[in-house]
Amino acid sequence: MINEKIKFLVNPLSGGKKKHQIIDRIEQTLISCKLTSPADYQIEFTNPDDISNQVISACQSYEKIVAAGGDGTVGQVIQGIVQSGTKRKLGIIPLGTANDLSRTLGLYRVFQEKGLAGLINIILRGRVKNLDVLSLNDKFIFSNYFSLGLDAKICRDFNLWRSKKIAGWKPGSLVNKLFYIWLGLKNLGYYETGEFSITIGRDDQEQKGAEARGNGKKKVSSSGHPLPDRLGLAGRRVSSLDNPQSAIRNPKSRIRGIIVSNIKDYASGSPISRQAEISDGKFEVTIIKTLADFIRLLAARFLPSLNRNMEQYQANRVRIEGTPGGYFQLDGEDFSTALQDKDVFEVKVCSTIPVIC
């Protein structure tokens, strides 16, 4: 609805542009859409030290909260909306490197084809779809993905580089993507050396599964082929670790990582699961066993028909126990420090919010 008040929260570091240029573009587009009154909208920069309270405050006076930034910014705004308890509508202007939630929603394509004006029109129209929101250890809220292992190591290195950039230099999306590729090549040899057990929960049933160092017995396709009973795991046991002596210790079976994902797009548009649905109350758990698994996953962005055949499960809750190498990411943001020394990771669907698309 056009008469709903809109709060735009703009990450001044996103998009590789001068921060005031971003605001000017939004204001000019709003004026072209006949929104000229301060009563209709407000634009302000995000406060990285207090963005949750900034969002909570905005939710008291505005019906639509628009996050202009990357997946990290969008994730922080989602957290604030959930904490506010208001069910305000989330709008997105994708200005980041990956923009995976926007890709899943179809907003990134609109941005590419119709520019900011196309997105503003969608935001003004206000049609929504529910988005599942997940929690990690009942403390951290996310909507896209949580992972440990290789991709989290790349994320960690990228954030370290970003924090040490030359003062005043704000690289654009292309530079960021090229650097991500370089970091991926640099870290190709990384793998998890610890042992893991994963307990998958669906409805009121659980199955103990996959595994010590990635040696699961039940494989399910993530390549788009029909899957029985939505991955067919309900109530069945997969590679039990009830007996610690059954843990596989063959170093050749060491896994590269574990990804818990809620959307179909990953790492700038690679389809991690075509079965993913953002409002079905479930998410996917993908085990990256080998370097080939990881490469095929990334290559699927350019080769959609590529058969990846990764080990993947669907759940509404999951418990991961093990001894990870210390690298974690949440919605593309480095969480290695926040989760250091943790050996239990519980993920579940905790809420939903309406997202404009």
- DSSP codes, 62-77: -SEEEEEE-HHHHHHH
Please report which confidence band the pLDDT of residue 10 belongs to, taking 50, 70 and 90 as the band edges.
very high
- Average the pLDDT over 26-55 and give the result: 88
Average pLDDT over residues 197-226: 47
State residue 205's pLDDT score.
47
Residue 237 vs residues 72, 249, 314, 318, 324: alpha-carbon distances, Å = 36, 20, 14, 14, 23
Distance CA 299, CA 270 (A): 7
Architecture in CATH for domain 6-126: 3-Layer(aba) Sandwich (3.40)
pLDDT digits (tens, 9 = 90+) for 168-211: 556 666 677 777 778 888 898 998 988 888 898 876 444 444 43
Segment 315-326 mean pLDDT: 91
Tokens 């509404």, residue? 316
pLDDT for 173 equals: 66
Q: What is the CATH number of domain 145-351?
A: 2.60.200.40
What does the alpha-carbon distance between residue 237 and residue 127 come to, in Å, rounded to a whole number?
Answer: 41
Quote the pLDDT of residue 3.
75
Domain with CATH 2.60.200.40 in the chain: 145-351
Q: Is the pLDDT of residue 225 over 70?
A: no
| Residues carrying CATH 3.40.50.10330, the chain | 6-126
Pairing of strands 265-266, 270-271: antiparallel
- d(CA 284, CA 90) in angstroms, rounded, equals 23
